């Protein structure tokens, strides 16, 4: 059965009127159907054109279905439901005080008694009144928790109760946040990706359970089972078996297609479909799939199929676009108890995982679509059936990362782009988002038709979720008296922490090689290159956008810092059996074994001065040896033997291609302009040839 609905959106920010003696408002009733009770409610609104209204039946997942032929004359009311079979209609009469309607519901020739009771307007008055106190709380928390600004949106029963900014989008110049200020929404973007897959599923363009390999034959993973069996549903439920691998995309220059190709080199840490492991690159892959199957791109598809129908005219897909507007929030972080403006982080390469930027006006339209289960202004954007996938548990997540919240929440589950759990008998559907300088949070309470949005311009702000829970208790009139903010910040505001002593560091050790030997380029097939060089007697590393000095830690381990992340990184260097530095390893995330980056041989073949110095004739006893460059290779010819190709190995040392265990090294004088010896290393000994003068 398919239902249509109309959206009734009223802004309750004006002085509240006195209620009573009027049919206007929400009415709740229970239809006694053989075997069970069917709860329903109607909302009646009078405007300049007359009366209009909607019907909700939660059990049948009917939300705001438009009442047809609505007539209110005196205390008599009548309406029909043409989209319900059996010529469904209702006729009744209001009590004198307009607090009750008694009447008859007719369907398929059956007449059933149905009484509606007016919802408590006092509760609505209470909510509006208490929102003032909530706003005062927000203002005080911005100061106490050192958050520059926040924009908050709240919708209940189709009515916008709050759409407002607090604090500053530009802290230095005291430019205020308002409902139109653009923020990065981070990973709350993911729900837009799952919605896109749902739309394509409706169109039979993709299927949730068809292997990705059928859509992308070049989809390659280390785990063969995951590669063959991974489906669109697996991509967006974090059960690929892969850990985050975020340093593959964060701060790198790789394009979306290059990231897709590098998936083939990323190690899993769990078997496929056995564990929840948050994974951004799989959402990027889902975005590529949406673009591929829609014949455009993820951005173009989302703009056309979601933004435009909802009227989300201020939303975009790149911080570069945000900065072209007149009303965008600047990103901040806290450093030494002070707010510091930081650079915007462009994450276009992994866009579907978190690149959308929006404001609360637009996000409330998105939230209302979720609460309406896919329908807006009588237009179905996403079929209702798809919400059985998106808003229902697909994977067990477990208890939250903040133990102080666990007592009141049920075990967390994950749908597609949404976390799901229970609180105080209410189903909560939510997702947060964080990217440099911004934190976002969206929360839905579908049982109570409530949705809320929080957008802040502070890196890793903890304020959004506890504010959402404070607002939830207010709306539900919950007297649990929980200080959610105190809980969220428990232990995080301790001052004068003693510096931790690293008892794993071995003292009085030294590096095994001169610093110059560590220099070079080290490569991982997935993550790319780490370059090591020496500046003024100190090693420095460069890894995509990360760089900085390396301090000797112990033995052949050096320590640096991932700038922008305030995170230490240890790099360990390794030698081969011939005591040559051959690789380095580093831990890119806690759940992974150290990744090995192999040292590339130096590119001396491209050095004209090196080639000039090594080319020529050498003698070894009576044997004549000739070294020459041919195109982009170095060749070596010994009288009476075939010509060998010299493969770069270590500085000044080359292996003889096709002869394992054989290599040659050019020994230079101090000026490095002349070769003193050509040294052969062979299984049967070491031999030295002299250059012919």
pLDDT digits (tens, 9 = 90+) for 135-182: 999 999 999 999 999 999 999 988 899 999 999 999 999 999 999 999
- Reference 427, options 476, 462, 381, 364; nearest CA is 476
Confidence at 495, pLDDT banded by 50, 70, 90: very low
Q: Which residue is associated with the tokens 């997942």?
A: 61
Cα separation of 164 and 614, whole Å?
73
DSSP per residue over 398-415, as a string?
Answer: ES-S-HHHHTTBPPEEE-
- Cβ distance 290 to 212 under 8 Å? no
- State whether residue 585 is helix, strand or coil: strand
Q: Which CATH class is domain 604-691?
A: mainly beta
Q: Is the pLDDT of residue 414 over 90?
A: yes
Q: Which CATH class is domain 25-119?
A: mainly beta
Q: What is the pLDDT of residue 8?
A: 22
Q: What is the pLDDT of residue 138?
A: 98
Q: What is the pLDDT of residue 372?
A: 94
Q: Is the pLDDT of residue 36 over 90?
A: no
DSSP state of 107: E
Query: What's the rounded mean pLDDT across residues 583-600?
Result: 95
Cα separation of 42 and 24, whole Å?
10
- Cβ distance 199 to 217 under 8 Å? no
- Reference 381, options 196, 174, 237, 567; nearest CA is 196
Question: What residues does each domain of the chain span?
Answer: 25-119, 127-489, 515-599, 604-691
Q: Dihedral (C-alpha) 191, 197, 198, 202: value to the nearest 10 degrees?
A: 160
pLDDT digits (tens, 9 = 90+) for 210-226: 999 999 999 999 999 99
> What is the overall mean pLDDT for the chain?
91
**Separation in Å, CA 670 to CA 590, 617, 653, 673:** 45, 21, 17, 8
pLDDT digits (tens, 9 = 90+) for 321-367: 999 999 999 999 999 999 999 999 999 999 999 999 999 999 999 99
Distinct helix (H) and strand (E) counts, the chain: 17, 40
Question: CB 673: neighbour CB atoms within 10 A?
Answer: 10
- Cβ distance 445 to 426 under 8 Å? yes
Q: What is the pLDDT of residue 563?
A: 85
CATH number of 127-489: 3.40.710.10
Confidence at 481, pLDDT banded by 50, 70, 90: confident
- Cβ distance 662 to 654 under 8 Å? no
Give yes or no on whether 25-119 and 515-599 have one common fold: yes
- State whether residue 529 is helix, strand or coil: strand
Confidence at 681, pLDDT banded by 50, 70, 90: very high
Query: What tokens appear for 187 in the block?
Result: 């990973």
Confidence at 17, pLDDT banded by 50, 70, 90: very low
Task: List, in sequence order, every beta strand (DSSP E) within 245-367.
Answer: 332-335, 338-341, 357-358
- Cβ distance 187 to 354 under 8 Å? yes
Q: Give the CATH fold of the 515-599 domain.
A: Lipocalin (2.40.128)
- Reference 27, options 8, 5, 45, 51; nearest CA is 45
- Reference 312, options 369, 380, 384, 351; nearest CA is 369
pLDDT digits (tens, 9 = 90+) for 301-319: 999 999 999 999 999 999 9
Cα separation of 576 and 650, whole Å?
11
Beta-carbon contacts of 179 under 8 Å, excluding residues fewer than 6 positions away, are 151, 153, 163, 164, 165, 359, 360, 361
Beta-carbon contacts of 340 under 8 Å, excluding residues fewer than 6 positions away, are 332, 333, 334
Beta-carbon contacts of 35 under 8 Å, excluding residues fewer than 6 positions away, are none
Query: What tokens appear for 553 in the block?
Result: 């830690």
Q: How far apart are the first and last CA of the chain?
A: 96
- Cβ distance 678 to 644 under 8 Å? no
Weakest-pLDDT range from 8-22, 23-37, 386-400: 8-22
């Amino acid at each position: 059965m398919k239902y249509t609905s109309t959206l009734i959106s009223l802004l309750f920010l004006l002085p509240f009127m006195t209620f009573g003696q009027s049919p206007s408002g929400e009415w709740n009733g229970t239809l006694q159907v053989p075997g069970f009770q069917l709860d329903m409610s109607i909302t009646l609104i009078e405007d300049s054109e007359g009366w209009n209204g909607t019907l909700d039946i939660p059990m049948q997942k009917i939300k705001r279905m438009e009442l047809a032929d609505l007539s209110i004359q005196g205390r008599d009311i009548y309406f029909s439901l043409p989209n319900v079979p059996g010529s469904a209609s209702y006729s009744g009469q209001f009590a004198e005080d307009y607090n009750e309607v008694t009447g008859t519901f007719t369907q398929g020739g059956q007449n059933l008694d149905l009484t509606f009771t007016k919802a408590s307007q006092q509760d609505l008055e209470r909510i509006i009144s208490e929102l003032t106190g909530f706003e005062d709380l927000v203002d005080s928390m911005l100061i106490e928790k050192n958050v520059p600004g926040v924009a908050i949106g709240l919708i209940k029963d189709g009515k916008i109760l709050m759409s407002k900014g607090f604090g500053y989008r530009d802290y230095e110049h005291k430019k205020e946040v308002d409902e139109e200020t653009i923020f990065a929404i981070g990973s709350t973007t993911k729900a837009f990706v799952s919605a896109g897959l749902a739309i394509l599923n409706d169109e039979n363009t993709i299927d949730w359970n068809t292997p990705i390999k059928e859509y992308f034959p070049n989809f390659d993973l280390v785990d063969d089972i995951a590669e063959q069996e991974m489906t669109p549903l697996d991509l967006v439920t974090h059960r690929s078996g892969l850990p985050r691998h975020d340093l593959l995309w964060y701060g790198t220059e790789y394009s979306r297609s290059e990231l897709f190709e590098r998936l083939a080199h990323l190690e899993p840490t769990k078997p496929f479909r056995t564990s929840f492991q948050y994974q951004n690159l799989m959402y990027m892959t889902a975005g590529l799939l949406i673009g591929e199957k829609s014949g455009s791109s993820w951005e173009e598809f989302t703009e056309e199929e979601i933004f435009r129908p909802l009227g989300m005219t201020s939303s975009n897909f790149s911080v570069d676009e945000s900065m072209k507007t007149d009303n965008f929030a600047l990103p901040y972080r806290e450093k030494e108890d002070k707010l510091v403006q930081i650079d915007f982080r462009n994450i276009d390469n992994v866009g579907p995982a978190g690149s959308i930027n929006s404001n609360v006006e637009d996000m409330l339209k998105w939230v209302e679509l979720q609460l309406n289960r896919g329908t807006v202004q009588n237009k179905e954007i996403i079929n209702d059936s798809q919400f059985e996938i998106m808003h229902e548990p697909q994977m067990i997540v477990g208890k939250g990362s903040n133990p102080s919240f666990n007592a009141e929440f049920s075990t967390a589950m994950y749908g597609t782009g949404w976390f799901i759990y229970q609180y105080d008998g209410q189903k909560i559907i939510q997702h947060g988002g964080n990217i440099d300088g911004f934190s976002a949070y969206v929360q839905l309470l579908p049982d109570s038709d409530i949705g809320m949005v929080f957008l802040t311009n502070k890196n890793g702000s903890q304020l959004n979720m506890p504010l959402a829970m404070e607002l939830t208790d207010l709306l539900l009139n919950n007297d649990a008296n929980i200080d959610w903010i105190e809980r969220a910040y428990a232990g995080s505001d301790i001052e004068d922490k003693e510096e931790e002593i690293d008892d794993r560091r071995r003292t009085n050790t030294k590096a095994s090689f001169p610093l110059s030997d560590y220099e070079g380029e080290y490569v991982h097939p997935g993550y790319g290159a780490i370059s090591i060089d020496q500046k003024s007697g100190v090693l420095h590393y460069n890894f995509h956008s990360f760089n900085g000095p390396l301090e000797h830690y112990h033995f052949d381990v050096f320590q640096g810092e991932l700038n922008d992340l305030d995170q230490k990184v240890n790099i360990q260097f390794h030698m081969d059996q011939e005591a040559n530095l051959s690789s380095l390893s580093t831990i890119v995330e806690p759940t992974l074994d150290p990744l090995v980056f192999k040292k590339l041989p130096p590119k001396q073949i491209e050095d004209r001065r090196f080639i000039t110095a090594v080319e020529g004739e050498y003698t070894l006893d009576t044997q004549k040896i000739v070294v020459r460059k041919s195109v982009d290779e170095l060749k070596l010819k010994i009288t009476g033997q075939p010509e060998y190709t010299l493969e770069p190995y270590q500085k000044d040392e080359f292996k003889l291609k096709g002869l394992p265990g054989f290599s040659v090294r050019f020994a230079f004088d101090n000026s490095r302009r002349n070769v003193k010896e050509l040294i052969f290393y062979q299984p049967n000994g070491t031999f030295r040839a002299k250059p012919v003068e």
